[in-house]
């Protein structure tokens, strides 16, 4: 009960501060939009190329945007040493991570859903028939990115060269998520859509394993 109430209170804080500053959402949306538009204009992919390469491009854009979005996640807590105040206030430090990773997943999902129609129009890929399945992949992929990203953001925030450290740690770690999410999305955008269960299963396993690790080790990541 304490974990749930603390997480709810902290999630409210995360959402309120973001909707006031709109720092993360603006950066992420603009970045993904630029990648999708520039790639479309530069390569002018055909219908078949779009189905084959589009999902990979989309997930690469999501991943790089996420690394931008996750950077200030714990860095913002250092400005006024608010992380110390949180550590002194919560009975379970996992609540700090849980609130942040839920907020990051929501922000990422929001930008992905916003960018999906742009992608569908520019790349001439029909998505309406598989919208539900696509949203499921977006959710599982975004959750994996947010869990690993939130943990690494806590580590990198205390390090020197922190701006460089997060992408250096995050991108290799998330390569399996990128590959699996892309494979599942390719299947869904195929002329005869199918669900790549192996990839979907991997995403679920990744999320469960990393969430458990964060629950077990999170407290140590917050220590000074």
Partner 1 sequence: MTAPGFSPTGIRFENIEKRYGGLAALRRIRFEIAPGECVALAGRNGSGKTTLLRIAAGLVRPSSGDLTFPSATGAPAVSAGFVAHATMVYDELTAEENLLLFARLQQTPNTAERVEKLLHEVGLFDRRDSLVRTFSRGMRQRVAIARALLHEPSILLLDEPSTGLDPQGVAWLAATLRQLRDAGCTILMSLHGESEISLLATRAIRLDAGLLVADTRTGAEVRSILTFADA
Mark 76-95 with x for binding to partner 1 (rule: CB under 8 A) and - for no binding: ---xxxx-xxxxxxxx----
CA distance 170 to 70: 10
Q: Give 35 or 96: the residue with its C-beta nearer to partner 1.
A: 96
- Is the separation of the CB atoms in 11 and 90 below 8 Å? no
Dihedral class, residue 22 (left if φ above 0, else alpha if ψ from -120 to 50, else beta): left
**# chain residues binding partner 1, by CB under 8 A:** 25
Rounded Cα distance, 16 and 22, in Å: 10
Q: Should residue 13 be labelled a site residue for partner 1 when binding is judged by CB under 8 A?
A: yes
Question: 52 or 87, CB closer to partner 1?
Answer: 87
Taking the complex as a whole, how short is the minimal distance between the CB of residue 25 and partner 1, in angstroms?
14
Which of 9, 30, 168, 209 binds partner 1 (CB under 8 A)? It is: 9
Stretch that binds partner 1, among 6-14, 38-46, 170-178, 211-219 (CB under 8 A): 6-14
Residue closer to partner 1 (CB basis): 16 or 198: 16
Cα(160)–Cα(175) distance, integer angstroms: 24
66 Cβ contact list (under 8 Å, min separation 6)? 28, 104, 108, 142, 145, 146, 149, 170
Helix ranges, 71-93 (H) = 72-79, 82-89
**C-beta of 48 vs 91, nearer to partner 1:** 91
Q: Which of 6, 28, 111, 156 binds partner 1 (CB under 8 A)?
A: 6
Report the site for partner 1 in 18-57 (rule: CB under 8 A). Answer: 20-21
Distance CA 58, CA 87 (A): 37
The token pair that represents 202 in the structure block: 């991997």
Contact between 125 and 50 (Cβ < 8 Å):
yes
Our CB check for partner 1 shows the closer of 65 and 96 to be 96
* Closer residue to partner 1, CB minimum distance, 42 or 79: 79
* Maximum distance among all Cα pairs of the chain, rounded to whole angstroms: 56
* Only segment of 1-9, 50-58, 104-112, 200-208 that touches partner 1 (CB under 8 A): 1-9
Which residues form the interface with partner 1 (CB under 8 A)?
A: 2, 5-6, 9-10, 12-13, 16-17, 20-21, 79-82, 84-91, 223-224
């Amino acid at each position: 009960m304490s974990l749930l109430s603390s997480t709810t209170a902290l999630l409210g804080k995360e959402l309120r501060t973001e909707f006031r500053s709109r720092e993360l959402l603006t950066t992420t949306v603009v970045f993904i939009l630029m990648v999708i538009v520039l790639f479309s204009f530069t390569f002018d992919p055909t219908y078949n190329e779009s189905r084959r390469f589009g999902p990979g491009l989309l997930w690469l854009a999501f991943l790089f945007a996420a690394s931008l979005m996750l950077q200030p996640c714990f860095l913002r807590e250092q400005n006024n040493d608010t992380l110390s105040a949180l550590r002194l206030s919560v009975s379970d430090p996992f609540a700090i991570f849980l609130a942040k990773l839920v907020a990051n997943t929501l922000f990422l999902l929001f930008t992905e859903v916003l960018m999906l129609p742009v992608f569908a129009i520019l790349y001439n890929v029909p998505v309406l028939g598989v919208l539900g399945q696509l949203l499921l992949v977006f959710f599982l992929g975004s959750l994996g990115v947010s869990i690993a990203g939130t943990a690494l953001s806590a580590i990198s925030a205390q390090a020197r060269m922190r701006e460089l450290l997060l992408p250096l740690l995050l991108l290799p770690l998330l390569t399996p998520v990128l590959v699996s999410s892309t494979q599942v999305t390719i299947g869904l955008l195929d002329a005869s859509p199918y669900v790549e269960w192996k990839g979907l299963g991997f995403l679920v396993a990744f999320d469960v394993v990393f969430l458990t690790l964060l629950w077990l080790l999170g407290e140590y990541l917050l220590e000074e």
